[in-house]
Amino acid sequence: MRPTVHDIAASAGVSLATVDRVLNRRPGVRAVTREKVEAAIETLGYVRDMAAANLAKSRVYPLVFIIPTGDNPFMRGLEAEIAVAGLRSPVDRTRLSVLTVPAFDSAALVEAIDRAVSDVPAGLAVVAVDAPEVAAAIARARSAGVPVVTLVSDLAASGRDHFVGIDNIAAGRTAGSLMGRFLGGRPGPVAVLAGSMLVRDHRERLQGFTAALSQDFEPRVILDVLEGQDDPMLAEELVAICCKAHSDLAGIYSLGAGNSGLVTAISAQGRPIRVIAHELTSHTRSALKAGLIDAVLHQDAGHEVRSAIRVLKAKADGVAVIEAQERIRIDIFLKDNLPLEQAGDVREPIGRDD
């Protein structure tokens, strides 16, 4: 038979109330008594059923998601998936809330993290900006006993508890491999459109892309990164200028958002340019169908939200995370394998001339 709390109490010579305080890390227990209870737990091999314990206590997990504002359709899709997950709150015993901050604004993100921690949530999920002050804010949250997962874009140096997102170096390598195959022996440089090099996911995608394209294919010029701030209008302007400056432009890798502006710019060129983008939105879907985008790399926002919730609950309970369950896959979509469009699909804001 599995040992019970009654067995622990008998072995340690304490009351059930004392065992409960130790198991739930509550104050009011002398250090020597706590050590006796912990020794009994280890000797008996007691493994706590956290799900049953939390259900019995009707525990609710308040979880806070901090994500960027703006026109980035993937982030708006992420926000929509948090709302969907919130519908399951009574079943999952969670209370989800969302704080939004300006994209790529480290000061605003720090303020939001500190504000969230002051309410003592069960956990935080943060779309991270790679900056020392953000890492320090995450470290403060963890010091306050609040588990933190980074979401979509990582910040490993912060000591966060877990990263929920795709392997962005692998995503970049995949894009580089696809681009090399699509271009074949066609000459000409390749442009890269990013949101900002301040976020790790964009830097890692670029790293993987340049590595795969340079290692596995004939040498090709990769132009300086265009930072469009995930803004469709700015992306359109930057791509149009790039196309004008490089009449032999062969390909574009869009590793961030702002793809409606990108599509507007390349559709005005009247010449074939191979394009690989990220995230399947209604706009990238239409561009795939029209042949304006050749491939889209996609991550499942719903899976990421559900994974963040599971991981934060596990961290709050002090139980192990099932790593295989939390691996976020990279989907590759061509016009030939598009999934059926869902009624709730996020629509990307269109460019000025769409």
Three-state secondary-structure class, residue 328: coil
Closest CA to 195 of 105, 327, 285: 105
Decide if 69 contacts 103 (C-beta within 8 A).
yes
Contact 254, 193 (CB under 8 A): yes
Give dist(CA 279, CA 160) in Å, integer: 25
Predicted pLDDT of residue 349: 46
pLDDT tier, 235 (very low <50, low <70, confident <90, very high otherwise): very high
Q: Is residue 167 over pLDDT 70?
A: yes
pLDDT tens digits along 194-230: 999 999 999 999 999 999 999 999 999 999 999 999 9
The DSSP output letter for 341 is P
For the chain, percent of residues with pLDDT exceeding 90: 71
DSSP 234-299: HHHHHHHHHHHH-TT--EEEE-SS-HHHHHHHHHTT-S--EEEEES--HHHHHHHHHTS-SEEEE-
Which token pair is 71? 């026109």
Q: Over 50: is that where the pLDDT of 351 sits?
A: no
Question: What sign has the CA pseudo-torsion 183, 185, 187, 190?
Answer: positive
State residue 227's pLDDT score. Answer: 97
Element spanning 11, H or E: helix 5-12
Helix, strand, coil fractions of the chain, as percent rounded to 5:
50, 15, 40
Q: For residue 251, how far is the Cα from the chain centroid?
A: 27
pLDDT of residue 344: 44
Angle between helices 259-267 and 232-245 (to 10 degrees): 40
The first and second tokens of residue 256, run together, are: 């961030």
Domains and CATH numbers, the chain: 5-48 (1.10.260.40), 57-164+301-321 (3.40.50.2300), 168-298 (3.40.50.2300)
Q: Are 182 and 274 in contact (CB under 8 A)?
A: yes
